[in-house]
Structure 1
Amino acid sequence: MKHSKTLLKTLALSAALAGAAGAFSQTPAAVQVRDAWVRQSVPGQSGTGAFMKLTAPAGARLVGVSTPAAGVAEVHEMKMDGDTMRMRAVPGLDLPAGKTVELKPGGYHLMLMDLKQPLAKGASVPVTLRFEDAKGQSSTLELKLPVGAPAGGAAAPAHNHKH
């Protein structure tokens, strides 16, 4: 009886390890997120931005974002066009292997539009990032981002943007 219990435990552990190894080999390398935050909004404001630093050890591409806090969430680029600041959605953002890509005010960022309610400083916002690796394998990363710039963070003022 003791031998059969040991055998069952060994088989169960082997099956669990085999399953874990299979799942691990199919999952793209994890993208690291640092210094993430969402700009607070005020009543009547329909959109805001989310910012962070992303590092993909093996390289990846940020291909989408979603949040229950907004009707629309997109990866955006902001840049100067002559003397006008323009913002537009981009289909994806490359994350070169081992290099940190910063999503920041005035550059690439996540745009949260059609906000369901104002986002107050100190609250948190659930955000799901979608990535693809070089082989086209998809992965997601679920985050809870604090509302309000981190201490010492660059909280650039909101601008009126042309889409």
Structure 2
Amino acid sequence: MKSPLLTLMLCAAGLATGGLETVQAAAQTVVHSAAQAGHSMPGMGMPGMDMPARPAKPLTSSLAVKALKLVQGWVSAAPPGAEELSAYVVLSNPGKVALTLTGVSTPTAGSAMLMTTARDAAGRESMQMTAAMKIPAGGTLKVLPGQAHLMLRKFGRQPQPGENVSVTLRFSDGSARTFSLPVRKLP
């Protein structure tokens, strides 16, 4: 990585030899370098360069999360006006590390959560929100009707059969993975 001072000198040289585009590219490098060092360099005296320093982007998906396979997945269609939809997935973890699913989100719904289905001693079913679902190393997580689901709520516009819903799953290691799930009617 170049030092900010060296990059500023390159900016000056670029202005003399490479024009404004070279200067702007070098200035962005200075801002990025300063951000990594925890400093802010707003403006730099150039139009369009009032960029706040930002830390480097976090890793969006660990190798273990990238290796997950979506065996099947869908969003269950509901009658018009329904306030909640359920999404289902079967995820296969071919890796040697267990993973923990800790959250779900989608731009389609205002809120989403992990839910499990429990039965009491009398056989009555109830849904319970859960903080996590385990995906064993070399194993499978089945989020299927009657067992568990991803609850999607507060729709701007309810998705219809034949459309796809983008669903992002978040994991305990800070990773996330997005899948496109078709909306379909249950038989």
When the two structures are superposed, what TM-score results if normalisation uses the length of structure 2? 0.61
2:75 paired residue number? 38
Cα separation, 2, equivalents of 1:97 and 1:33: 15
Q: Does the CA contact (< 8 Å) of 2:167 and 2:178 recur in 1?
A: yes
2:62 paired residue number? 27
Shift of 1:27: 2.4
Shift of 1:83: 3.3
Cα deviation, 1:6-29, whole Å, max 9, x if unaligned, reads xxxxxxxxxxxxxxxxx99x9241
Q: Structure 1 unaligned runs (5+)?
A: 1-22, 150-154, 157-163
Cα separation, 1, equivalents of 2:148 and 2:123: 18
Q: How many pairs align?
A: 124
Cα separation, 2, equivalents of 1:98 and 1:38: 26
2:174 paired residue number? 138
Q: Which has the bigger relative contact order, CA under 8 A and spacing at least 6?
A: 1
Residue of structure 1 aligned with 2:109, choices 31, 56, 70: 70
2:126 paired residue number? 86
Q: Structure 2 unaligned runs (5+)?
A: 1-57
1:48 paired residue number? 85
Q: Does the CA contact (< 8 Å) of 2:73 and 2:181 recur in 1?
A: yes
Higher-Rg member (1/2): 2
Q: How high is the sequence identity, in percent, across the aligned residues?
A: 31
Q: Does the CA contact (< 8 Å) of 2:72 and 2:91 recur in 1?
A: no
